[in-house]
Structure 1
Amino acid sequence: MLELDKDKKVLIGCLASSFIFYHTARQIYSYVSAKSREWVPIGIVKGLHIYPIKSCKPVDVFAFKCTKLGPMMEELEDRVFVLVEESTGKFITARQKPKLVNVESYMTDGILEISVPGHPKLSVDLKKVVENGRTIRATLFDNLQQDGYDCGDEVAKLLSDYIEEPNYRLLFSKEGLYTERTCIPDDQWWNTPVPKRKDNSGFTDLAPFLIATEASLKAVNEKLDKKVTMRNFRPSIYIEGCAAWDEDKWAEIRIGEAHLECFAPCTRCVLTTVDPEKGEMSKEMQPLKKLREFRLAPEGKMSKAHKDSPVFGVYAGTVNEAYIHIGQTAYVKYKPTVF
């Protein structure tokens, strides 16, 4: 009889524990589900950057407009220029020529102003460039091709001499030119919708916006002997105030009236090892080497696609166009799981 009572007590205890576990699990699931449907304030905008020439120095701005084609402020547009080899059209970046990160540019009144260290500023009249009508077909990532207007001999010589390579031309992207960049290849991402790209949106790598956070930068620097800056990671939008790697869980982001959809983590390459001040690549391959120790893509489709390319930041596209500025609060909707 005593044994029977003991068994009953054990059974009741097990049932009670199961109930508590089930109830707790449901609460956690409900919380996560609710959180993913709500706009949650996570921090403020600390920096905004536009990169007129692909792989070159950014223009730091107080505000820009989030558009379908990327960040824009007055005549400044993101990555509408690229440097290519004349005969092949193959583009070149700071991955091959690190000193490109010190090429400065600005656009105003239809004039591109460009300068390299040790040389006076050079001006290119973009109206004349378009009127001249000479185009070159650029070969971009995944061998996709896109036309751009040739910006002329003077700027071509300046940049070719600077990178110490002959026959490089600066191209200007404009709506209406030929492009094969209709979408991002499905095999590059996990199971999320792939945004359409038939838009002549400049010479961007993969997406109009790259967003990174101060806390994630700090988490990387805590593991490095020689600290790096956010310029090593070249974001469009830089946010402070949230937890490290919080961006892994973002589904959408809202800043003022601007609404962006986060659709892919940003996998990193040797460009992160280029010192943004010296224009030299790190001999220690940092911070890329350290990131590979703890920020590789999770096992599965992403891991197979990206292999040893670590994750830092998130790519986003525009849902609702609007201006944003430094100091604004950023709100996000969360996904149930990271990535």
Structure 2
Amino acid sequence: MPTLSSLSIYPLKSCAELPLTHATVEPLGLQHDRRWMAVRPDGSCMTGRELPGFVHLRAVPVPEGLHLSAPGMSELVVAVPPADAPRLEVIVWSDTCSAAWAGEEADRWLSAYLREPARLVYVDARMLRPVDPKYAAPDDRVGFADGYPLLLISEASLTDLNTRLPQPVRMNRFRPNLVVSGCEPFAEDRWKRLRIGEVELMLVKPCARCVFINVDASTARPDPAQQPLRTLATYRNHGNKVLFGQNVIARHGGVLRVGDPVEVLEEA
């Protein structure tokens, strides 16, 4: 039986991976995952696609809110915005929604690190961002992830890719929440419904990849040979999209733990 081999969150969109041993699954995905986001003055999201330095920005949830640290910067704790905090209209790709503003101190810190004007926003109870209705139920919601609450990839799929690359890459290039071991390469493409521990999950859509996967988390620099995206495109291209991993929505929440068995309830 396949096994859940790792769990990770990215509390601030595009920030460094934060590995966990266990995590609570909420309607928006793993607790604390992508609940914060940097935006430009016009409200558009800022990501590691165009600002690779994001991958060296470490964001850790703390009781007060979010602890931020990055090379060359003093550390900062940002409080969760209060219920009456000012709101900003923000844009996450094709979605526009209203988010809570985290304040001037956080804006100054982010702007200094990213070297361009930035504002920090938060997913509060008032923010409603639906998941694409073509793949989700009407009441499914997502935070600041690209489009879906969770992302799952198998270790075997990465191993298959690494046999084709000039230099192997680590799983953190692909920023999954859930990594599964003990299955064949791309077995996740065939899965439709899973039970992991007490959590039931629906795999709703393959994940289309972008140039962000070319950014090396150790150097915060894009690969000059455009790897691994270039190699993936030679055998994982479908409809002009390069697919790797599966987008996931939780149908029954609960706690996930590394080492949990992965039961395939239904195949596509």
Which residue type is aligned with residue 132 of structure 2?
I
Residue 104, structure 1, aligned to residue 54, structure 2: no
Aligned to 1:13: none
| Equivalent in the alignment of 1:120 | 74
One of 83, 99, 107 as aligned partner of 1:148: 99
Percent sequence identity over aligned pairs: 28
Pairwise CA distance, 1:125: 2.0
Counterpart of 1:53 in structure 2: which amino acid? L
Measure, in 1, the Cα distance between the counterparts of 2:221 and 2:133.
Answer: 32
| 2:121 paired residue among 144, 149, 171 | 171
- Out of 121, 132, 137, the position equivalent to 1:184 is 132
For 1:1-339, list aligned pairs within 5 A. 41=1, 43-72=2-31, 77-86=32-41, 88-126=42-80, 129-130=81-82, 133-142=85-94, 144-165=95-116, 167-177=117-127, 179=128, 181-184=129-132, 186=134, 193-196=135-138, 199=141, 201-297=142-238, 303=239, 307=240, 309-335=241-267
- Deviations 1:10-39 (Å, cap 9, x if unpaired)? xxxxxxxxxxxxxxxxxxxxxxxxxxxxxx
Instruction: Report how far residue 316 of structure 1 moved.
Output: 1.0
**Cα distance change, pair 124–62 in 1 and its aligned pair in 2 (3 A):** same
**Shift in Å, 1:266:** 0.8
Indicate the SS of the match to 2:43: coil
How many angstroms does 1:111 deviate by? 2.7
1:113 CA drift (Å): 0.8
User: What 5-or-longer segments of structure 2 have no aligned partner?
Assistant: none
CA contact (8 A) 2:38 2:119 kept: yes
Report how many aligned residue pairs link the two structures: 268
Other structure's SS at 1:118 match:
coil
Q: Which runs of 5+ in 1 are unaligned?
A: 1-40, 187-192, 298-302
Q: Secondary structure at the match of 2:237?
A: coil
Question: Following the alignment from structure 2 to structure 1, what is the Cα–Cα distance between the partners of residues 259 and 30?
Answer: 17
User: CA contact under 8 A between 2:143 and 2:149: conserved in structure 1?
Assistant: no
Assess if the C-alpha contact under 8 Å between 2:27 and 2:140 holds in 1.
no
Q: Which amino acid aligns with 1:175?
A: A
Are residues 258 and 116 of structure 1, via their aligned partners in 2, closer, same or farther at CA, if it must alter by over 3 Å? same
Q: Which has the higher helix share?
A: 1
Q: Whose strand proportion is higher, 1 or 2?
A: 2
1:195 deviates by 3.2
Deviation at 1:183, TM superposition (A): 3.7
Instruction: Quote the offset at 1:84 in angstroms.
Output: 0.5
Kindly indicate whether the alpha-carbon contact (under 8 Å) linking 2:131 and 2:148 is maintained by their aligned counterparts in 1: no
Indicate if the aligned counterparts of 1:184 and 1:197 stay in contact, CA closer than 8 A.
no
Structure 1 70/183 Cα, relative in aligned 2: closer, same or farther at 3 Å? closer
Per-residue deviation, 1:185: 5.7
What's the CA shift string for 1:141-198, capped at 9, x where partnerless? 11x2112222122221221121211x21010110113x4x334164xxxxxx533356
Give 1:236 deviation, angstroms: 0.3
Q: Partners in 2 of 1:292 and 1:185 — Cα distance?
A: 27
2: CA distance, partners of 1:197 / 1:293: 37
TM-score for the superposition, normalised by structure 2: 0.95
Deviation by residue 1:98-122 (Cα, 9 ceiling, x = unmatched): 1101111112222311011122211
Question: Are 1:102 and 1:117, in contact at CA under 8 Å, matched by a contact in 2?
Answer: yes
SS of structure 2 residue aligned to 1:317:
strand
Aligned to 1:189: none
Contact in 1 for aligned 2:157/2:186 (Cα 8 Å): yes
Q: SS of the counterpart of 2:255?
A: strand
Distance in 2 between residues matched to 1:261 and 1:185, nearest whole Å: 14
* Aligned-residue offset at 1:333: 3.1
How far apart in 2 are the matches of 1:240 and 1:262?
Answer: 17
Distance in 1, Cα, partners of 2:232 & 2:110: 32
- Runs of 4+ off more than 4 Å: none
Is this contact kept in 2: 1:174–1:202, CA < 8 A? no
CA contact (8 A) 2:162 2:168 kept: yes
Larger Rg: 1
